[in-house]
Amino acid sequence: MSDLAQKTLETPSKGVISELTDLSSQQRKMLLTQPMSQLYFSRNRFVSEGETLLFEGLDTQYLFLWALSFIMEGSAMAAGCTMDDVRDSLTATISRIRPENSDATCRQAADVVLEAIHNNHEEFASGFFHAPSMTTLTFRFRLVILEPDMESVYRYRPSKEGYLLLIGMLDIDVEDQQILMERMLQILIERGRIQQAKEVARNARVLSIEYAQQINEFLLQMRRSPGSVKWERDLAPRLNSARSHVGERQGEDLKLKMAVESQLDAVGAQASKDELIELKEIISASSAVRARLQRDITSTEKNFLDAQISAFRPKKYSGLPDLETTILPTVLKAPIKHFAQVAEEIYLSVFPAVFPKVPDISDLLALLLERRSNNEPALPEKDGHIEEFEDWPDPFPEQLVAEVLAWIKLKLMANRPWKLDELIAAGEAEGFDHKRLQCIGILMYLSYPDSESAFPARHAVADGTFETFVVSGDNLRFDLKSASQEPSDG
């Protein structure tokens, strides 16, 4: 018996359990196919309007993956696909496979497939055995995500698990996957295995789309919440890495195109040439995705500056979850007892800041017990009329104020105190009319606070009262500031 076997036998059962192989990653990848399998095994439950099997002659797995691939293609050209776009395209595909089916039957089948993909916008949940902890854990995932774009249009886009299901479950970083695919593609081209090279090229294009989506989601977060993003800390390193990565991939695309062109010159069969031409078109499509990403990265600095400028508008909290797409759906799913537990804590927050006044109970009883002397209905009120708005002219035009102010300043040039009643008397002696005398009173009262005074060299203090035919009230004395220290703040 070998030493290893002897050790295994001597080890307690607990030690043997701890050496179980952890297959959690493989299990989770297999669980990604469960929604597709559930649709396949339940396909005979659905019937069309003609009481025939809805999916008769249709491959539900193909339709499932086709719809997911269509959503992925929409993410490459835009921010995703709307529900109507996916439903219409899936209906057209089903009609092409089964042309004898009616449009209503094709649309019904498309709705079932779409429902199986998004699961009524709920997460899929499946249990699996976790060897290290010897427990059954729950794996939750989504194949597609429904979120609003910048124009608040809700669109589907594949989730991380959706991309993993599409590209054969190679669960490594997308940057490393691209490098791996390029090396594999180059070897297949050199060995003349064009059919496999086309499949690898398609997967490489999916990786390009996924990487572009990751970068664009990062940039979208920057535009939505500029206050939570720092250029030196968050944006600059990520963009420099993305710029270098995209540049390297574009260089590899050029090498792959040259390798395909050299194979085109070497092969003689027309069928092989057609496959090579198709392979070159797939590589060019991947280059177009990267070129579009390169353009987005280049414009990021300008978008970041624009976002920072827009941040000077009335601000809101940044970095918080979206209320419409995250908070409210979760609140609606919560049970009533959950709110009952926290009701006492938030009960006071629903009260108004100021309670409305309630009439005294005696006044209410007196109002209810009041007896009317005349119970005859009141006469209907006559219809009123709308009076035109009368634009009242300014009683003190700007020209009049300027003339009176200049006259007062001329009087105050005398090196002595002046009182308000003295200025009014001086104006009356010089023949001022009633409006000019009123203007003198208004300007002098407005100049009582030093902060509003039109006479910076004077300081106003209250000095008794006075009465004239123009105005009466507190008399003001305007002293030179060097001669009076009393502050007047109004």
Same structural domain for residues 24 and 159? Answer: yes
Which H/E stretch holds residue 158? Answer: strand 154-158
Question: CA 451: distance to chain centroid?
Answer: 47
Spatial separation of the C-alpha atoms in residues 355 and 350, rounded to whole Å: 12
> In degrees rounded to 5, what are phi and psi of residue 143?
-90, -30
Same structural domain for residues 179 and 295? Answer: yes
Same structural domain for residues 204 and 179? Answer: yes
Domain boundary among 263, 278, 310: 310
Q: Which pLDDT value is given to residue 261?
A: 79
The answer to the question of residue 8 being in a domain is no
Q: Which pLDDT value is given to residue 281?
A: 82
Which H/E stretch holds residue 461? Answer: strand 458-467
Same structural domain for residues 179 and 291? Answer: yes
The answer to the question of residue 382 being in a domain is no
Spatial separation of the C-alpha atoms in residues 159 and 146, rounded to whole Å: 10
| Residue 436 belongs to domain with CATH number | 1.10.10
Spatial separation of the C-alpha atoms in residues 419 and 479, rounded to whole Å: 9
Spatial separation of the C-alpha atoms in residues 208 and 282, rounded to whole Å: 12
Same structural domain for residues 144 and 58? Answer: yes
Give pLDDT < 70 ranges for the chain: 1-19, 77, 168-178, 180-181, 203-204, 207, 219, 222-223, 225-229, 307-308, 310-324, 348, 353, 355-356, 358-359, 372-384, 482-490
pTM above 0.75, yes or no: no
Same structural domain for residues 179 and 228? Answer: yes
* 42-63 confidence digits (pLDDT tens): 888 888 877 788 888 899 889 9
Domain boundary among 163, 191, 225: 163
Number of domains in the chain: 3
Handedness of CA 213, 216, 218, 223 (dihedral sign): negative
Same structural domain for residues 247 and 147? Answer: no
Same structural domain for residues 203 and 152? Answer: no
Q: Are 280 and 205 in contact (CB under 8 A)?
A: no
Same structural domain for residues 122 and 89? Answer: yes
Structure tokens at 381: 């009120």
The answer to the question of residue 263 being in a domain is yes
Q: Which pLDDT value is given to residue 140?
A: 92
| Domain of 467, in residue numbers | 398-483
The answer to the question of residue 469 being in a domain is yes
Domain boundary among 277, 310, 343: 310
Q: Which pLDDT value is given to residue 239?
A: 76
Same structural domain for residues 30 and 146? Answer: yes
The answer to the question of residue 124 being in a domain is yes
Spatial separation of the C-alpha atoms in residues 262 and 132, rounded to whole Å: 52
Cα end-to-end span (Å), the chain: 107
The answer to the question of residue 333 being in a domain is no
